[in-house]
A and B are shown apart, each in its own frame.
Chain A
Amino acid sequence: MTGTWKAFTQDRRALAEQAFDALSTLDEITAAMRARETGERQVGFGDVYAYVNEPGRPMSTRLREALEADDRLRDDLLRLLAKTAGYRCPRSAAAGTKVLESRHGQGFTIRLRPSRAEPSQVYVVIELLDPAAEAPRSLFIAEQQDGLLKQALPEARGGTVQLLAETESDLIRALRNPRSEVFLR
């Protein structure tokens, strides 16, 4: 059974109008979503979560672009890192410090030791104060301007994780940067 407009109560007219409004908006949003079906996925927090939590997962170009374009998404990533990292070393507060050869955080130390065999390389030695603690699997370094760097870590031995890197690599440069923040997870 249906009625005519005149027979509708005020309530029903209001309901008709608001349901029409909702349906029209749904149609328009759906059409807009279809129009941009490019085969490329939209980046979301799920991508940030996977990047932070999967040691072997590199940063995709789409995620990098999204982080560059969206400050809030970048803040979300850093917050997730800060919340979930087992170890964290804040930016150096010491004024005038140019480069760092070691970083100290609660429960760990990172030292950079030049390789004797190959002068162009540096050992990154991560020492955990509690050798029985769960060893980190990823190293993240957040710099103010230059984004975020992630390094998968080898297995720890006796509470020490050690890896070799080129002296001129982004990893060493970022670790030496006193304005960078280090997370181990």
Chain B
Amino acid sequence: MHGATVEQLDLVAGGSPELAAAFQTVSDTEAQGLPKFSPRICRKLMHSVVCRAYAQAMLEVCHLVTVAEACGRSPRRYEEFFWDSGPACTAGFRAYVDRELLGEADAAPHVSADYAKVDISYDDGSFAIAYSRMPFLSAMVEFLVTVLGYGELDDLWQTMLSRGPTAASVADTANRLSRLLYGHLKDHLTTAQSHRKFACLVAFLRDLGDGDFGPTAIEDPVVLDFWLARSGKNSSDNVDFRTFASVFRAFVRLRQVLEEVYDFRALRDARPIGPDRAAGEVDPDSIRSLVENIDETENPLVVLRDPPADAIKFLNKTEAADLELLIASGRTGLALPLSFMRCEVFGVAQARISQAQRRKVAPEELRALIEGCVHDDYLERQSRLQKLARHTDRVLLASLEVLATARRPEAVILVAALRPDIDLRPLAKFLIAGDDEGKIVQLDSIAIRERLIAAMACPQTVGPELASLMGEANKALKSLSRQGFGEEETALPSAGDGFASAAQPLIEIRRQLAAFRRKLQGMKLPRGDWEEQYEADSEIFRSQFLLLYGVAA
């Protein structure tokens, strides 16, 4: 791992800085001047590694190496497959195999392919790898080469390849690879601190609830009480609860886990891991499956950062950062609205104080910083959320205009999302049509879609409500001067793909923003209103900050 960059990373409790740097390397990898791996693939890779659920991936990687070696004729066959085939995407790998393997009639009779997958026939068995799986496997190879080194991998794979691979020898190589990665993670992925964190939170909740608790026990007062009780304590157990943000995130994660784990079906089907099951070991695939249920496999912000949506600037950096915590907290954030606001206001302020302390500023300067650490109060923060909601509406409207003009079906989804109560009866006439003899006939779905969307683009024919919506959509598109919204850009045939893939994520962001703002408006605050609450919380947080950072009077 490259020392200079590792030093730039803050210490990571569960994973080492080296591990974080390795994931960063994968995420930074470029091919043909473009990001090689999408954010979604990088996240999937992190899930696999952090949950230690990589055994199946190691097997697939080793089989893929035999496919890669069969492609082309140069002395660097598998390397070309992984590092000379462009950005890691399903279509790219399919094209590479088509060109390099299938183009060579007698190159590798043991490997064949169809549109969806590659099949490998060994003397003692067979294996298939879907093209759609290859971007993830390629990211796994990039990660392995980063943490283990090319030399180590090449030794392993050359041994496998030089003997003429069999299903058994590939499986054996995959086991060796798993052991190598396990050995690396032993030093770089520790669990002790997170376990202590978990035990600490559970003990606190059990004490509050006379020995028992459920996810709903995690409420706003609990989060604040825990932070006040734990943040100032010397952590002899090496568990850091100093920042309010870390406490909020820990409770959000605990609540999410408790909500999901009770009904988690995969556990019932999981194979026991021998005698270790009794010692509390759980099948890593079950852990990964639960983590993926909770975590952001379909986080809308991640989808917006992925191609093809990333070509269009739906959100700028500040807007995305403003949404990050809300989206990451998901529906759990709705259960802890005051804690969320405290995190956004006082948590952000605490980050500034911690930074100043790391810079070793003088005590009086630190004290002054604490006194004036808050930039946005609760009402100002809410007003930023309101602005974000308005912006999301505008971007959705602009997307509607682009998608309707491009006759894309997602336009209908946007209409339903933007105006769920709209009178769609004027559209009914576009769902049926008369034949030559004047009989009513049913149109097929593509024809219906074409007619509907064509009608939407022609507002005069569809009634006043839809016409007005389409008028707003047109205006919204003209008002946006960001990358991807220009007249020439939206006229490109490929533009529709970016807008189409962003439609659902944007609708989800809008939904979460609206739900959270409704929650804030309707909630009963301990101090009556948001101004009073801010005043009261300011006192609490300032006193605690002064105590924590050693500048109390």
Residue of B nearest to A33 (CB): B24
The answer to whether B14 touches A24 (Cβ under 8 A) is: yes
Residues 1-49 (chain A) with a chain B CB within 8 angstroms = 1-8, 10-33, 35-36, 38, 41-46, 48-49
The answer to whether B2 touches A29 (Cβ under 8 A) is: no
The answer to whether B142 touches A70 (Cβ under 8 A) is: no
- The 8 A CB mask of B266-308 against A (1 = contact, 0 = none) is 0100000000010011100011101100110000000000000
Kindly list chain B residues whose C-beta atoms are within 8 Å of the C-beta of A13.
Answer: 280
- Whether B225 sits at the interface, judged by CB under 8 Å, is no
The answer to whether B84 touches A14 (Cβ under 8 A) is: no
- Whether A94 sits at the interface, judged by CB under 8 Å, is no
User: In the assembled complex, how far is the CB of residue B271 from the closest CB belonging to chain A, in whole angstroms?
Assistant: 12
- Whether B115 sits at the interface, judged by CB under 8 Å, is no
- Whether B27 sits at the interface, judged by CB under 8 Å, is yes
Assuming the contacts A44-B25, A45-B150, asked whether A15 and B75 have C-beta atoms less than 8 A apart, the reply is: no
The answer to whether A3 touches B2 (Cβ under 8 A) is: no
The answer to whether B76 touches A84 (Cβ under 8 A) is: yes
Q: How far is the CA of A29 from the CA of B23 in the complex (A)?
A: 9
Q: How far is the CA of A72 from the CA of B147 in the complex (A)?
A: 10
User: In the assembled complex, how far is the CB of residue A55 from the closest CB belonging to chain B, in whole angstroms?
Assistant: 14
Q: How far is the CA of A166 from the CA of B307 in the complex (A)?
A: 48
Max chain B C-beta neighbours (<10 A), residue from A19, A41, A69, A84: A19
- Whether B334 sits at the interface, judged by CB under 8 Å, is no
Kindly list chain A residues whose C-beta atoms are within 8 Å of the C-beta of B263.
Answer: 1-2
Kindly list chain A residues whose C-beta atoms are within 8 Å of the C-beta of B151.
Answer: 72, 75-76, 79
Q: How far is the CA of A167 from the CA of B378 in the complex (A)?
A: 71
Q: Is the interface of B mostly helix, strand, loop or mixed?
A: helix
The answer to whether B4 touches A69 (Cβ under 8 A) is: yes
Residue of A nearest to B294 (CB): A23
- Whether B36 sits at the interface, judged by CB under 8 Å, is yes
Q: How far is the CA of A168 from the CA of B117 in the complex (A)?
A: 56
Kindly list chain B residues whose C-beta atoms are within 8 Å of the C-beta of A21.
Answer: 14, 191, 194-195, 198
User: In the assembled complex, how far is the CB of residue A102 from the closest CB belonging to chain B, in whole angstroms?
Assistant: 26
The answer to whether B197 touches A24 (Cβ under 8 A) is: yes
Kindly list chain A residues whose C-beta atoms are within 8 Å of the C-beta of B46.
Answer: 26, 29-30
Kindly list chain A residues whose C-beta atoms are within 8 Å of the C-beta of B29.
Answer: 44, 46
The answer to whether B261 touches A12 (Cβ under 8 A) is: yes
Residue of A nearest to B5 (CB): A42
- Whether A83 sits at the interface, judged by CB under 8 Å, is yes
Kindly list chain A residues whose C-beta atoms are within 8 Å of the C-beta of B214.
Answer: 2-5
- Whether B435 sits at the interface, judged by CB under 8 Å, is no
Of B100-108, B252-260, B514-522, the stretch lying at the interface with chain A is B252-260
B-side interface residues, number (CB < 8 Å)? 83
Contact of A29 among B14, B149, B290 (CB under 8 A): B14
Assuming the contacts A15-B282, A69-B4, asked whether A83 and B76 have C-beta atoms less than 8 A apart, the reply is: yes
The answer to whether A15 touches B20 (Cβ under 8 A) is: no
Kindly list chain A residues whose C-beta atoms are within 8 Å of the C-beta of B197.
Answer: 20, 24
Contact of B15 among A1, A17, A28 (CB under 8 A): A28
Contact of A32 among B1, B9, B261, B294 (CB under 8 A): B9
- Whether A153 sits at the interface, judged by CB under 8 Å, is no
The answer to whether A25 touches B262 (Cβ under 8 A) is: no
Assuming the contacts A35-B9, A44-B28, asked whether A29 and B3 have C-beta atoms less than 8 A apart, the reply is: no
The answer to whether B14 touches A28 (Cβ under 8 A) is: yes
Assuming the contacts A15-B261, A15-B264, A72-B151, asked whether A24 and B253 have C-beta atoms less than 8 A apart, the reply is: yes
The answer to whether A8 touches B12 (Cβ under 8 A) is: no
- Whether B26 sits at the interface, judged by CB under 8 Å, is yes
Kindly list chain A residues whose C-beta atoms are within 8 Å of the C-beta of B253.
Answer: 20, 23-24, 27
List 18 interface pairs A-B (beta carbons < 8 Å), by A numbering.
A2-B215, A8-B261, A12-B267, A17-B195, A19-B260, A20-B253, A21-B198, A25-B189, A29-B46, A42-B5, A44-B142, A44-B145, A46-B36, A75-B151, A76-B150, A80-B79, A80-B150, A84-B75
Supply 16 further A-B pairs (C-beta < 8 A) apart from A2-B259, A21-B14. A8-B262, A11-B282, A16-B258, A21-B195, A22-B50, A25-B194, A28-B20, A29-B14, A42-B24, A44-B145, A66-B4, A69-B3, A70-B1, A70-B2, A75-B151, A80-B76
State the B residues within 8 Å of A (CB): 1-5, 8-10, 12-15, 17, 19-21, 23-31, 36, 46-47, 50-51, 74-76, 79, 83-84, 142, 145-146, 149-151, 154, 189, 191, 194-195, 197-198, 202, 205-206, 211-216, 249-250, 253-254, 256-264, 267, 277, 280-282, 286-288, 290-291, 294-295
